[in-house]
Structure 1
C-alpha cells in the first residue's frame, strides 16, 4: 500500500523514487517513501560512504551561506533546494542577519509542500514550484521578483543539482543564463558529485539511480571547474566539499563531491 501522510500532496506518485527524497533519506530525514529508501539502500550498498558524502555536501551549504552573509549578502536564491532539513538556508542566514531573504526553488511536490509548511509566518522566505532548467520561468516568477532585488548582490545556490542534468540539456548554457542575471558582487555556491576518486563505486551509484526520476551524470574536476567560468573563485577554489573553508576539519577527508564559491565581477 502506498504511504500517505499530512505532508504528502494529493496525487503525488510515491512509487517513483526522486532525488530530493533519496537525499533526505541519506541525511537521515523522514520525508521519503519506500521506493526512495530502496534506492537509497542500493546506493549505500555500492557506496558505503553515501551518507558521509551527503552530510559533507550539506555542511558545505551551511558554510557557504555563512560566508555569503559575512560578505554582506542578504538575499538568497536556492535552486533545487530539496526537502527542508536541519540547517536550512533561511535558518542559517537569518540566524546571522534576521533581515535575510530567501527563495527556495524546487519541482518535487514533497519538497515544495514541506517548504511551504515550515515557512508559514516567515515573511522573508518563500518557495517557488519551478524547474531550475527553465531559468526565465524561475527568474520571472512573481515570488522571486517580490523577494529578490536584482539590483543588489545576491547569493545563488546550486548545491548538488547539476549532476542531475545531462550534457544534452546544456548545463553550461543554463548556468550562463543565471549568471547573466546576477548583479556585480553576487556570489554563486555550487557543488557537484564526481567519480574522479572512486570511479567504480560512483559508477555503481549512477546505475542505482538510473531508474529513478532523476538519473545522475557525474563530472570530472575540469568539468566542474568550468561551471565557474566568468566568476572569480573564492579561496580555496574548487575542492572537495569537506575541504571548502572548513576550519573545524570535520569531514575534511571526504571525497566524491566538488564544491566552490565564485563572485561575479
Structure 2
C-alpha cells in the first residue's frame, strides 16, 4: 500500500485528525521533508493543495524542501542533481526542485518574510546572523505562508 502522505484525504479524514484538530480555528500545517519525497508523477502540488484547501482562513503552512538552484547557479544545480542521484540510489526518494517549483506549492497563500530561504536563515532572533554552512547550505530551504 502507498504511504498515506500520497493520499491527503486519508490524512484529513483520519479519526485522530478529526478528534484533535478543530477545523473552525487556524491550524499550522507542517510539510517538513515531505513534498521532496513525492515524485512528479505523484503530483505533490495536488497533495499540498488538497491539504491546504481544508485549512481554515488564517492558517499557516510551513514547508521545507530540497532545492536545485537551477540556471542562476549552474554549478550548484549540477551538484544538486548529483546529490539527488546518489540520495535516490542509496536512501530511497528525493526530488530537488527549483524555487519556482517549490513556490508553486503556496499558490493562493501569502508568503511571509523572509520568503523561501536556506533553513539556516530561519532563526529565532531577527538580528542574529545565519551561520553559513557547506555547499549544502543553499540546498535545503524553507518557507512560511498564511492562508488568507
Q: TM-score, normalised by structure 1?
A: 0.48
The answer to whether the 8 A contact 1:185-1:263 is kept is yes
Gaps of at least 5 residues in structure 1 are 1-106, 108-129
The counterpart of 2:129, out of the listed 238, 249, 256, is 249
**Counterpart Cα distance in 2 of 1:181 and 1:264:** 11
User: What pairs with 1:167-246 in structure 2 (closer than 5 Å)?
Assistant: 167-196=40-69, 197=73, 198-212=76-90, 214-245=92-123
Q: What's the offset of the Cα at 1:212?
A: 4.7
1:54-78 Cα shifts (integer Å, max 9, x gaps): xxxxxxxxxxxxxxxxxxxxxxxxx
After superposition, the Cα gap between the structure-2 partners of 1:252 and 1:149, relative to the gap in structure 1 and judged at 3 Å, is farther
Deviation of 1:201 after TM superposition, in Å, equals 2.5
Change in Cα spacing, 1:146 to 1:252, as seen in structure 2 (3 Å) is farther
Q: How many residues align?
A: 137
RMSD: 2.0
Correspondence 1:128-167 to 2 at 5 A: 131-167=4-40
Is 2:146 the counterpart of 1:263? yes
Distance 1:201 1:243 in 2: 21
The verdict on how the C-alpha distance between 1:259 and 1:171 changes in structure 2, with shifts beyond 3 A counting, is same
Inter-partner Cα distance in structure 1 for 2:104 and 2:132: 23
TM-score by length of 2: 0.82
Alignment of 1:53-202 (within 5 A): 131-196=4-69, 197=73, 198-202=76-80
